[in-house]
Each structure stands twice: as C-alpha cells, then as structure tokens.
Amino acid sequence: METHGGGKWRILLHLLLLSLISTVRSSSAVRFRSACGAAERQVPMAEGAGFKIGLFADLHFGEDAWTEWGPRQDVNSINVMNSVLHHENPDLVIYLGDVITANNIMIANASLYWDQAISPARNRGIPWASVFGNHDDAAFQWPLEWFSAPGIPPIHCPQSTTSYSGEEECSFKGTGRLELMTDEIKHNGSFSSYGPRNLWPSVSNYVLQVSSPDDPPSPVAFLYFLDSGGGSYPEVISNDQVEWFRKKAEEINPDSRVPEIVFWHIPSTAYKVVAPKFDIRKPCVGSINKEPVAAQEVETGIMNLLVNRTSAKAIFVGHNHGLDWCCPYNKLWLCYARHTGYGGYGDWPRGARILEINQTPFSLHSWIRMEDGEVHSEVILS
C-alpha cells in the first residue's frame, strides 16, 4: 500500500506527463496549420462522385415590384431554378450577384425578396453561397412616369412584419449589404460570409474549401468569392481585396498545390480582351454573344495576381445577361454564367451554368442547363 506522499508524487508526475503530451500535440497542430493554412469552412465531396455546383446569376427578384408583371417574373425565376435543380441536383448552389433589384424595391427589408430567391436551394436542403452584384443594395429609383398623369400607381408592398403600418411597409429606404448578409446567414444552409471588416463596404469576400471524401481536412479545391462592388459604391475589386486574396492564398495554399476557382459578379476588363467579336468560335465555348462586355470601372491588380497563380483555374461572373461564353485568357478561363432570372433585361431563354469538380486527376467540367432541360456548351476548363 502506497503512502500518502508517494501518491502525491505519482499524481504530480501524471499531471506533468499530461502537460507534456498536450504541449506536443499543440505544437504539432500549430505546425500542421502553418503548413496547410487555417481551416476554411468546408463543403464535402461525396464518395465516388464529382462535386457539382449550380450557378444562378442575375435573378433580379423584386423588379417592378409595384406591378402585376414583377411578381410573375419572380415566380418564373423560381421555376427556372427548380427545373435546373431537378435535373442536376448539385452539391452547392452559388448565387452570383444581382439576386434582387433593390432599386425597384420599396420596402425597408429587401431580405424578404432575397429569401424568396434562395428558397429553391433551401427547400431542397442544398447548401448555397452568394456574392453581391451592383443591384443588390442599389438605392430606390423613382420612376419618372410616376411624376406625370396619372401619377403614382397603387403600390402593394409585401408586409415585412405585422407591426408595420402601410406607410412603413413602403419605406423606399433600401437594405444594405451587411443587413442582407446578416439575414441570409441566419439560415442553416448558407455558406456565405461577411468577409473581413477591413474590406467593408465590400462585403462578400471569403473562401470555401471543397473537401476530399477520403480525408476531409484535405482540400480538393478552394472556392474564392469576391464582391465586385456597384450599387452603394463603385464597381471595382479594390487593391485591399487583392492583398487580402494574396495573403489568404499564401496562408491556406502556400505551394499553389490546390486548384482555385473564383467567383464574382461584374467582369474584369480582361473579359473585353477575350470577348468573341461576332460568333463564338474555338477556343471559346458558348451559345450567346449578344452584347459588349460591361466591365468594372477600373482594374486594380486582381487579374495580374490570378494570371500569375498556377493554382487559379477559372473565374465565373454574371452581370451581362446576353453573354454565356467561356474563353481562355493566358492560363485562366474567363467564363460567364447564364442569365437565370426572368427579372432584368433581355428575352434570351433562361438557364444556369453547371460546374463539376473531379478529384483524381483534378478536372473542372462545365456546361449550361436550360430551363427546358436542354444541355449545351460543354467544356473542360482544366
């Protein structure tokens, strides 16, 4: 039988060993994080299958909200998304900006329209992520015809809360990026993020990791999301965002081993360089080329950074409803999505761009799925 003194020393020795083990484990964890970067939020790839992404661009919910036509377009847009999701069943949906037409939305809480737009993915339990476009927090634009006979038409604003009076429901105040994002990320299926505070007013800047089914901490690809501005501030990816991207990439992908795919709304000026002149011909792939590229106001370095990253594979944008092509630019692919929403200009048939990531060997395959189920414009982007 041990004496009390011997038991005390054994306890002290045991605690010392536990402390030593904890220190070793912590040191190992720090070394692992230093080598591989801080863990990003992960979306898992299914065993034995590619990782499929559906891009919904330029939905423009809430457009002409005071008319009978406007709400009908929102219903039509939901039908497009439901059709695409039925045929493709993606692992992730990306809302690629201009989710709503805020400059037509009269209520203080435009998140009501945002919630309608994300409902097809949410109702199916499909996770989603979003970036902002130039219309998402734009100030209300008073239609000039309201100031001539017969004047302002009868306005029917959706009721945001039961405590609001009719006057408050039609407040014309708008909803800012931060408030829209705050409301979205309350939903369990949202993988969106505010992004770093030092980048505000640019909000939707963040990274998601597509994780290996065999080894979840191991990334198959990094998905970068950038706010390309517009609406409440200029249409630009700022120098601060470029530096954030550079530092984040050095942190989580220091040897550029993991492929990177980038999403924002307004195309960079590089899209003008590769744009087909008339018909879409190889090496470009697509089906409509009906308008000139409407690019960001200025280039501050994001394209120079991406062109010089061997890990950067492709950029996907929306904004131009009459373009759906992909064209090579140096070692990158510059791609448009497909106009998904019935809101917004243009009467071209609606659809969505689909991406599929495969792990071994890595490949990035894309095509366009139309509202009627047709598939076209298939292309390998890696």
Q: List pLDDT tens digits, range 87-113.
A: 999 999 999 999 999 998 877 778 999
- pLDDT score at 169: 59
**Pick from 252, 320, 327, 330: which is nearest to 41 by CA?**
252
Reduced 3-state DSSP string for the chain: CCCHHHHHHHHHHHHHHHHHHHHHHHHHHHHHHHHHCCCCEEEECCCCCCEEEEEEECCCECCCCCCCHHHHHHHHHHHHHHHHHHHHCCCEEEEECCCECHHHCCCCCCHHHHHHHHHHHHHCCCCEEEECCCCCCCCCCCCHHHHCCCCCCCCCCCCCCCCCCHHHHCCCCCCCHHHHHHHHCCCCCECCCCCCHHHCCCCCCEEEEEECCCCCCCEEEEEEECCCCCCCCCCCCCHHHHHHHHHHHHHHCCCCCCCEEEECCCCCCHHHHHCCCCCCCCCCECCCECCCCCCCCCCCCHHHHHHCCCCEEEEEECCCCCECCEEEECCEEEEECCECCCCCCCCCCCEEEEEEEECCCCEEEEEEEECCCCEEEEEECC
What is the rounded average pLDDT of the residues 354-374? 97
pLDDT band at 161 (very low <50, low <70, confident <90, very high): very low
- What distance in Å separates the CA atoms of residue 122 and residue 125, rounded to the nearest whole number? 5
- pLDDT score at 19: 43
What is the rounded average pLDDT of the residues 112-120? 96
- pLDDT score at 172: 66
In terms of pLDDT, which residue wins out, 167 or 356?
356
Q: What's the predicted TM-score (pTM) here? A: 0.85
pLDDT at residue 24 greater than cutoff 70: no
What is the rounded average pLDDT of the residues 330-351? 97
Q: For 167-221, how does the pLDDT look when each residue is reduced to its tens digit (9 = 90+)?
A: 445 666 778 999 999 999 999 999 999 999 999 999 999 999 999 998 988 999 9
- pLDDT score at 249: 98
- pLDDT score at 154: 67
- pLDDT score at 159: 54
Please give the order of strands across the beta sheet that includes 92-96: 128-131, 92-96, 51-56, 351-358, 363-370, 375-380
Q: For 232-263, how does the pLDDT look when each residue is reduced to its tens digit (9 = 90+)?
A: 999 999 999 999 999 999 999 999 999 999 99
What tokens were used for 166? 């009719």
pLDDT at residue 7 greater than cutoff 70: no
In terms of pLDDT, which residue wins out, 44 or 140?
44
Helices 177-184 + 111-123 axis angle, to 10:
30
- pLDDT score at 382: 81
What tokens were used for 129? 């992520």
- What distance in Å separates the CA atoms of residue 334 and residue 196, rounded to the nearest whole number? 26
Q: How far is CA 49 from CA 90, 105, 132, 152, in A?
A: 11, 41, 30, 55
pLDDT at residue 11 greater than cutoff 70: no
pLDDT at residue 29 greater than cutoff 50: no
pLDDT band at 22 (very low <50, low <70, confident <90, very high): very low
pLDDT at residue 139 greater than cutoff 90: no
Q: For 267-304, how does the pLDDT look when each residue is reduced to its tens digit (9 = 90+)?
A: 999 999 999 999 999 999 999 999 999 999 999 999 99
- pLDDT score at 175: 87
- What distance in Å separates the CA atoms of residue 210 and residue 223, rounded to the nearest whole number? 7
Q: Which of 11-15, 172-176, 337-341 has the highest mean pLDDT?
A: 337-341
Domains of the chain: 42-152+167-380 (3.60.21.10)
Q: Which amino acid is at 249?
A: A
Q: What is the mean pLDDT of the chain?
A: 87
pLDDT at residue 330 greater than cutoff 90: yes
The percent of residues in the chain predicted with pLDDT above 70, rounded, is: 84
- What distance in Å separates the CA atoms of residue 165 and residue 180, rounded to the nearest whole number? 22
Q: Which amino acid is at 135?
A: H
Cβ atoms of 85 and 121 closer than 8 Å: yes
The distance of Cα 135 from the centroid of its chain, to the nearest Å, equals: 15
* Residues contacting 188, CB < 8 A, separation 6+: none
